[in-house]
Amino acid sequence: MEKTLQDFLMTHRLPASFLQTVDDWYLPLAGRIAKHREAAGRTLLVGINGSQGSGKSTLSALLVQLLAEYFDLKAVSLSLDDFYLTRAARQSLAAQIHPLLETRGVPGTHDIALLRDTLQQLTGAAGDVSIPRFDKARDDRYPQQACDRVPLPCDVVLLEGWCLGTPVQSDAALQEPVNEMEARDDPDGSWRRYVNCQLGEHYQAVYRLLDVWIMLQAPSFESVYRWRLEQEEKLAAILSESGRDAAQDQLMSAPQIEIFIKYYQRLTEHSLRELPALVHYLFRLDEARQIVDYEEPRAV
């Protein structure tokens, strides 16, 4: 298993010190998930919330490996990001409802029907399930033939996402813009009201399907810009190593990322305030993404 974890560190560009985090925090978490799966006696659906760059994708991939190696459980990892609407569909939303909806990210820019259908299929006993994948570098879905197919049955399904589990906002909270982008581009609040409506009418129904909730809590929204910039730099390195022409990919510069994360600010800050009390396993992070505190706010 040690060699497997070393390979994991290399693949995800993680320091050797991450192994201590695995031993102290994430292997015990995998053990708890395994116990919940045994108690449930069926496919367990696990949600992982974390702001951009918090490490939720890394944690999800790690749990797949730990559950297999230590507990002989077959797990599959999904990302809410892979269920973004196509670029063409978002352009249509932008034309019909609000221009800000062309930018992926907020509730209303995901194919929630596809997500719900995929989750339900993954609880099946036989066959296989196609898993959508989204190419962030090109801001569009991979073609169907490039998607993975997961054989059933699955013991655990892990779904991670930046706004996963976030409750709706009150009407009063929507009144004032949270940044200059909202003040300039959404002065009447129609974009944020639409996003909040989507969150309430469609996303909550998916969230209710999940059995176990995990949160990686950033210290503040101010951390997100630096973390998101690191993500983009890592993506650029991966593309370079794969031989893709980075000039043809829609990678963002630091100023572009600063603008991009403003779309996420409202619900990220709302989530940091409201979600910790609602999850089962809460990991508080510092500016360096190190775990500094752990709580279990709710029993599973």
Sign of CA dihedral 292, 60, 166, 218: positive
Domain ranges of the chain: 23-83+154-190+203-295
Rounded alpha-carbon distances, angstroms, from residue 255 to 30, 229, 259, 263: 38, 10, 6, 14
Q: Which residues contact 279 (CB under 8 A, 6 or more apart)?
A: 49, 165, 213, 214, 215, 297, 298
Region of 73 on the Ramachandran plot (φ > 0 left; ψ -120 to 50 alpha; else beta) = beta
| pLDDT score at 244 | 60
pLDDT of residue 136: 83
Q: Does domain 23-83+154-190+203-295 have CATH number 1.10.4080.10?
A: no
Residue with tokens 């980075």: 246
Contact 82, 131 (CB under 8 A): yes
pLDDT computed for residue 254 by the predictor: 81
Tens place of pLDDT for every residue, the chain, 300 residues?
Answer: 667 899 999 988 899 999 999 999 999 999 999 999 999 999 999 999 999 889 999 999 999 999 999 999 999 999 999 999 999 999 999 999 999 999 999 999 999 999 999 999 999 999 999 999 999 888 999 998 889 999 999 999 999 999 999 999 999 999 999 999 999 999 999 999 999 999 999 999 999 999 999 999 999 999 988 888 887 777 666 666 766 655 445 577 888 888 889 999 999 999 999 999 999 999 999 999 999 999 999 999
In this prediction, residue 75 carries a pLDDT of: 98
Residue with tokens 């719900």: 116
How many whole angstroms separate alpha carbon 90 and alpha carbon 108? 9
